[in-house]
A and B are shown apart, each in its own frame.
Chain A
Amino acid sequence: MISVKNLKKSFGDLEVLRDINVEIEEKEVVVVIGPSGSGKSTFIRCLNRIEDITGGHVYIEGTDISQRKVNINKVRTDVGMVFQQFNLFPHKTVLENIMLSPMVVRKWKKKDAEEKALSLLRKVGLEDKAGVFPESLSGGQKQRVAIARALCMEPKVMLFDEPTSALDPEMVGEVLEVMKQLANEGMTMIVVTHEMGFAREVGDRVLFMDGGYIVEEAKPEEIFSNPKEERTKAFLSKVL
């Protein structure tokens, strides 16, 4: 589904991703962990080319998005993304936030988009918030709307870039719950997170990143109980 080969990313002289290689299968839930500055957010942002790719290849369902001539907008319709800072559109209501892209990009009729948007709001438990503006929502509610907004494009894979890091602690659970539900439905997911509980419970595979490399990858039970690399051990001892 996603294949990353020798991915490199630099910001000026700063090499953030040095040589990333990974294959992600359909319906897999891959959790990316690692210390601050390890490149995990940059990595996930390269997967839909929100961040320009410096070198190497990223194949999304066979399309090499590192190639300039690829219609990246088309690829992005199949790759949903959820951001740490939610990035809801403040000038649009919750419902309009969700309907906008299906109508503008997929050219759905308003009625169809509205129907789909409402069903997604039901799914994330925010049906009653359809008409309000994002500013009146709590952080957890905003993030659930952001998930619904991404899902409305009917993506084949969902990228989560630290979706709970900007939330008050009591709101983390409601967002993780929605993500868990999504994983159970068979959505392919790549999740950058500090929620080790989520990684353990929901993840099919955990990637530990440090210094621009994937240092270790394994099933969650393995990596958490028996990490092989020193750096993984050091990191996990701090966060667990």
Chain B
Amino acid sequence: MDFRWEIISEYLPFFMRGLGYTILASLIGFLVGALIGLVIGMGKSLSNPILRLPFIWYVNIFRGTPLLVQIFLIHFAVMPIFIKPPEPLISLIVALALNSAAYIAEIFRAGINSIDKGQREAAYSLGMNHAQVLRHVVLPQAFKRMIPPLGNEFIVLVKDSSLGAVIAAPELFYWGRVAVGAYSRVWEPYLAVAVLYFVVCLVLSYVQSFLERKYATDDQRKKPKKVVRRSRGAAGH
């Protein structure tokens, strides 16, 4: 089998433009998803079970159905209500945002819950209100623990954005399929596309571990310390 490099070089400008849209759609989807996820995560932590319900079911529904199905529903059923005809790239971004919000909500919630309740108690005992406790004590510590799962989520999102090809959103995989169609050759375009996704995800995983190290100041270095309780004093206490 001869490998026809000229196919790749001819389509490289399209692949690069597609890659740009892939990154754009993933990034916007992730950022919007993070905002929605924050709200959902907080909603899921509400003490009132009735108010909590919609947030719980948001997560259930978006985690419990395939992203591809969500993309089709959003592009062909929901978006036509707002935009006629629906714009594939926008539909893709909306789907990625709504879908990632469900996962990010869980990441936020787990991160916040992982902070020892003594931290909150100490902050409240000093007179801080809920917002101040979150802003100055809980979130800075929780954020550090959220970096690894958030990084994973973003990498997953970049790869999942390739599903946009089926609604003709002009992202990287879409251009791969176009090249395949034009030349009736599968190896060159698909391999080129795979390599480009791989490079982006590799770079992202390095960025992720850089951020982890950057923010791992005190918490990470701290080894779990055994608490020595005094045996003197009340017996059995």
Interface residues of chain A, those whose CB is within 8 Å of chain B, are: 33-36, 48, 50, 73-74, 76-77, 79-81, 83, 85, 87-91, 100-101, 104-106, 133-135, 139, 146, 149-150, 153, 164-169, 172, 193-196, 235, 238-239
Mark B199-237 against chain A: 1 for CB-CB distance below 8 A, else 0: 000000000000000000111011000011110111111
Contact A165 B229 (CB under 8 A): yes
Q: Which residues of A contact B221 (CB under 8 A)?
A: 135
CB distance from A19 to the nearest CB of B (A): 23
Q: A76-B127, A133-B218 are in contact. Are A85 and B132 (CB under 8 A)?
A: no
Q: How far apart sit A150 and B230, CA to CA, in the bound complex (Å)?
A: 24
Option from B218, B228, B235 in Cβ contact (under 8 Å) with A90: B218
Closest 3 CB pairs of A and B: A194-B233, A77-B127, A87-B122
Q: A73-B129, A194-B230, A239-B235 are in contact. Are A91 and B124 (CB under 8 A)?
A: no
CB distance from A99 to the nearest CB of B (A): 11
Q: Which residues of B contact A134 (CB under 8 A)?
A: 218
Option from B126, B230, B233 in Cβ contact (under 8 Å) with A76: B126
CB distance from A231 to the nearest CB of B (A): 13
CB distance from A124 to the nearest CB of B (A): 17
Q: How far apart sit A50 and B234, CA to CA, in the bound complex (Å)?
A: 25
State how many residues of chain B have any CB contact under 8 Å with chain A: 33
Contact B122 A194 (CB under 8 A): no
Is B140 at the interface (CB under 8 A from chain A)?
Answer: yes
CB distance from B22 to the nearest CB of A (A): 35
Q: Which residues of A contact B136 (CB under 8 A)?
A: 100, 104
Contact B127 A101 (CB under 8 A): yes
Contact A153 B126 (CB under 8 A): yes
Q: How far apart sit A35 and B237, CA to CA, in the bound complex (Å)?
A: 7
Q: A50-B125, A83-B121, A91-B218 are in contact. Are A105 and B132 (CB under 8 A)?
A: yes
Q: Knowing that A101-B128, A135-B222, A194-B232 touch, tell me 4 more A-B residue pairs with CB under 8 angstroms.
A: A104-B132, A150-B126, A153-B127, A172-B230
Contact B125 A80 (CB under 8 A): yes
Specify the chain B residue showing the minimal Cβ separation from A80: B125
CB distance from A44 to the nearest CB of B (A): 11
Q: A35-B237, A90-B219 are in contact. Are A167 and B230 (CB under 8 A)?
A: yes
Is B141 at the interface (CB under 8 A from chain A)?
Answer: yes
CB distance from A92 to the nearest CB of B (A): 8
Contact A135 B218 (CB under 8 A): yes
Contact A89 B119 (CB under 8 A): yes
Contact B228 A91 (CB under 8 A): no
Give B76-112 interface residues, CB cut-off 8 Å to A: none
Is B64 at the interface (CB under 8 A from chain A)?
Answer: no
